[in-house]
């Protein structure tokens, strides 16, 4: 013989409060107590008393009530579940529910009364900062969306003068059982979308959402040494959850502005240093820029384009680094342009003197000439 529905036994709706369930139990317990029923009606009263007691024991326990709301008698009666080593139909449904939730990127759980609760979505904010700000860190303010309770409906989502009603499809549980043969699969209620309640007349100010989207200012601390592509997480500043679920997070993505002088490579910096042909030939001391100010480099005689000078510790100290990177200065020897006639004459005289030196003034000319001869004679 099939068991009666526990809510029906106590004569209460599925969304009844704990106090309502307790009052209903006391009423029926007094009516069907064996001491109050004698004679032929005693056996019937005793059976009804046992039914009331069983129903109250199940519905007064939050965990048992939740299991009953989700799976019916199979959720609380071990005799109706699968055999040894099996989870029963309830475990089957829950397992597949978790898989589908992971596939679609939603994190869900159970709220009061068995309603499905969902975590809010994450938000992304792109922040562009300069290389100097990335190296030293900074305190910034950003404007992000926020959600505030609707003042018109006081957060209920219902039009003033109307009320939110319990969903008749799922009875306020937020989920329905889909049975096919021996299998029972639980899914989100299509009528209320897991909320357990429906709004017959939505609030016009918030379209039934119970909250309004606005803007707020958020203080953000950018750590020193941060690099482009890194993200800063601000917990709880994402979109609000559904049915009381936790809010999502805000992720601030860092982007570096293009610098006029430096290029960053991890914790190291690179820059190109233009140099006159005179300084490159004769050598000397030149000044190069760093993030902390100017620095001096001794240039040896005969420095060529592409020569690299390394300044240790003049790079950037990364977020997780224990010491700063280095600065690499790449030399670019500039060829003079827009020469006067007198300058041209001096350069020709200089070229003639170089040729008389039999190639000793041009370190690459001999090897280049040899390679050309081998190329044309081979």
Q: Nearest to residue 173, comparing CAs of 157, 191, 158?
A: 191
Which is more confidently placed, 3 or 50?
A: 50
pLDDT for 366 beyond 60: no
Structure confidence at residue 75 (pLDDT): 64
Q: What is the pLDDT of residues 166-184, one digit of tens each?
A: 888 888 887 887 776 666 7
pLDDT band at 287 (very low <50, low <70, confident <90, very high): very high
pLDDT for 60 beyond 60: yes
Structure confidence at residue 106 (pLDDT): 45
Structure confidence at residue 57 (pLDDT): 85
Structure confidence at residue 245 (pLDDT): 79
pLDDT for 130 beyond 90: yes
Which domains, ranges and CATH numbers included, belong to the chain?
A: 1-80 (1.10.287.110), 117-164+199-256 (2.60.260.20), 259-335 (2.60.260.20), 344-378 (no CATH)
Mean pLDDT in residue range 357-374: 62
Q: Nearest to residue 176, comparing CAs of 253, 95, 70, 295?
A: 70
- C-alpha distances in Å from residue 59, one per residue of 12, 66, 72: 11, 8, 12
Structure confidence at residue 105 (pLDDT): 41
**pTM score > 0.85 for this model?**
no
Which is more confidently placed, 243 or 190?
A: 190
Instruction: Write a three-state SS string for 79-144.
Output: HHCCCCCCCHHHHHHHHHHHHHHHHCCCCEEECHHHCEEECCCCEEEEEEECHHHHHHCEEEEEEE
Strand partners of residue 51: none
pLDDT for 146 beyond 80: yes
Strand, coil or helix: what is 196?
coil
Q: Nearest to residue 325, comparing CAs of 273, 266, 271?
A: 266
Q: What is the pLDDT of residues 231-250, one digit of tens each?
A: 999 998 988 887 677 889 99
Q: CA 174, CA 151: separation in Å to the nearest integer?
A: 26
pLDDT for 81 beyond 80: no
Q: CA 172, CA 113: separation in Å to the nearest integer?
A: 7
Structure confidence at residue 76 (pLDDT): 67
Highest average pLDDT, of 35-49, 57-71, 305-319, comes from 305-319
The label of the residue with tokens 């140099």 reads: 275
Q: 36-45, 82-91, 286-295: lowest mean pLDDT where?
A: 82-91
pLDDT band at 318 (very low <50, low <70, confident <90, very high): very high
């Amino acid at each position: 013989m099939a068991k009666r529905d526990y809510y029906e036994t106590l004569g209460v709706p599925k969304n009844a409060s704990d106090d309502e369930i307790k009052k209903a139990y006391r009423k029926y317990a007094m009516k069907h107590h064996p001491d109050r029923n004698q004679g032929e009606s005693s056996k019937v009263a005793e059976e009804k008393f046992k039914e009331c007691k069983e129903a109250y024991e199940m519905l007064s326990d939050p965990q048992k009530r939740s299991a009953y709301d989700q799976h019916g008698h199979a959720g609380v009666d071990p005799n109706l579940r699968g055999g040894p080593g099996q989870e029963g139909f309830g475990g089957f449904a829950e397992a597949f529910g978790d898989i589908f939730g992971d596939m679609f990127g939603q994190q869900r759980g159970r709220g009061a009364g068995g309603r499905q609760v969902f975590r809010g979505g994450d938000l992304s904010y792109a922040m562009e900062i300069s290389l100097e700000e990335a190296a030293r860190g900074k305190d910034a303010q950003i404007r992000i969306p926020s959600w505030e309770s609707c003042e018109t409906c006081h957060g209920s989502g219902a039009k003033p003068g109307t009320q939110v009603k319990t969903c008749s499809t799922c009875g306020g549980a937020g989920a329905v059982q889909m049975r096919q043969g021996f299998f029972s699969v639980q899914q989100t209620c299509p009528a209320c979308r897991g909320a357990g309640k429906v709004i017959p007349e939505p609030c016009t100010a918030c379209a039934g959402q119970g909250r309004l989207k606005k803007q707020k200012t958020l203080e953000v601390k950018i750590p020193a040494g941060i690099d482009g592509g890194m993200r800063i997480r601000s917990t709880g500043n994402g979109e609000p959850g559904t049915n009381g679920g936790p809010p999502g997070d805000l992720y601030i993505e860092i982007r570096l502005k293009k610098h006029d002088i430096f290029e960053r490579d991890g914790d190291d910096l690179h820059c190109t240093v233009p140099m006159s042909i005179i300084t490159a030939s004769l050598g000397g001391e030149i000044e190069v820029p760093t993030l902390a100010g100017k620095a001096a480099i001794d240039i040896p005689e005969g420095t060529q384009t592409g020569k690299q000078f390394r300044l240790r510790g003049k790079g950037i100290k990364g977020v997780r680094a224990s010491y700063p990177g280095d600065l690499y200065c790449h030399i670019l020897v500039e060829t003079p342009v827009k020469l006067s006639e007198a300058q041209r004459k001096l350069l020709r005289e200089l070229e003639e003197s170089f040729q008389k030196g039999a190639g000793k003034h041009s370190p690459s000319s001999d090897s280049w000439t040899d390679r050309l001869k081998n190329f044309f004679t081979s």
